[in-house]
Amino acid sequence: MALKILGVGSSMRRNSYGTKALKFILDMIKKYDTETRLLNLRETKLPLFDPDGSTEEDTSLSDELRKITDYVIWADAFVLVSPDYHGSMSGVMKNFLDHYWEEFAGKTFGYVCTSHEKGLTAMDQMRTAIRQCYGWSLPYGVSINGELDFNTKGEIINDLLVKRLDMLAHDLITYGRLIREQFLKDISSNVLNTFAARYKVS
Ligand SMILES: Cc1cc2nc3c(=O)[nH]c(=O)nc-3n(C[C@H](O)[C@H](O)[C@H](O)COP(=O)(O)O)c2cc1C
């Protein structure tokens, strides 16, 4: 099957290094048997999560919500990219994650953080949120230090970074496919003592 990959960018900066890197990774991912989509949360505004659902009635916002929800359901695997904001993921990324739960289960996630300090805590927070939703994470992430890793034309000038992004692209496709296929198989099987069985539609 062509694996469907959703890349989620969550920087609020117009010339975001993270969003540039995300486009770079999605291009790398296209080499494999995949379909890719990009969701830039700076441009596609997701309403602030409201557990009472009142934003559903706000038609201008609900178009965006519907579009993003369609993307999330469509995806088999994700690349989540966040800037390091105070050692944390960006607010729009957290808001994005708050909107979904079961939609993430049985899907694989790769992480990238733009930071001056590697952004490990921001990536760990995204990993924790995804684990809480029964998503699977690659055990490593990729750190980007924008000013050092890009030139003024917006091109990546760090060969080591290119290698890490290439590895992320490869591993996300490889493990993402294995996990998704097994999850879907388990959902349609009669075996009930699997992690996927709780997601069966009755
Ligand atoms: C509100 C805010 C908080 C930030 N906090 C940190 C931080 O704690 N550590 C750090 O290394 N960089 C921090 N930064 C810098 C950004 O992480 C850094 O500039 C990053 O490259 C931005 O990525 P982008 O180009 O994709 O927007 C912060 C920036 C902003 C706007």
Q: Is the CB of 82 under 6 A from ligand 1?
A: no
pLDDT of residue 52: 87
User: Ligand 1 within 6 A of 114 CB?
Assistant: yes
- Which of 112, 71, 113, 104 is CA-nearest to residue 179? 104
> In a mutational test of the pocket of ligand 1, which residue from 115, 142, 150 has the highest number of ligand atoms less than 8 Å from its CB?
115
Entry pTM: 0.96
189 falls in which pLDDT band (50, 70, 90)?
very high
pLDDT band at 56 (very low <50, low <70, confident <90, very high): low
Please give the distance, rounded to the nearest whole angstrom, from the Cα atom of residue 187 to the centre of ligand 1.
40
Q: Is the pLDDT of residue 1 over 90?
A: no
Question: Which of 23, 85, 92, 158 is the best mutation target for the ligand 1 pocket, counting ligand atoms within 8 Å of the beta carbon and taking the most?
Answer: 85
pLDDT at residue 62, rounded to an integer: 84
Asked if pLDDT for residue 154 goes beyond 80, the answer is: yes
Residues 184, 187, 192, 194: is their CA dihedral positive or negative?
Answer: positive
Q: How much of the chain exceeds pLDDT 70, in percent?
A: 96
Q: Does the C-beta of 84 come closer than 6 Å to ligand 1?
A: yes
Pairing of strands 108-114, 136-144: parallel
Task: Tell me the backbone φ, ψ of residue 85, rounded to 5 degrees.
Answer: -110, 105
- Label residue 200 by pLDDT band (50, 70, 90): confident
C-alpha to C-alpha distance for 140 and 42, rounded to whole angstroms: 25
How far apart, in whole angstroms, are the C-alpha atoms of residue 81 and residue 187?
29
Strand order across the 34-40 sheet:
34-40, 3-9, 77-83, 108-114, 136-144
- Give the pLDDT of residue 59: 61
pLDDT at 165 over 60: yes
pLDDT at position 202: 67
Residue 153, number of CB atoms within 10 A of its CB: 6
**Residue 57 in this model has a pLDDT that exceeds 60:** no
Query: For 9, phi and psi rounded to 5 degrees?
Result: -100, 140
Distance CA 145, CA 126 (A): 19
Task: Give the chain's length.
Answer: 202
Per-residue pLDDT tens digits for 83-142: 999 999 999 999 999 999 999 999 999 999 999 999 999 999 999 999 999 999 999 999
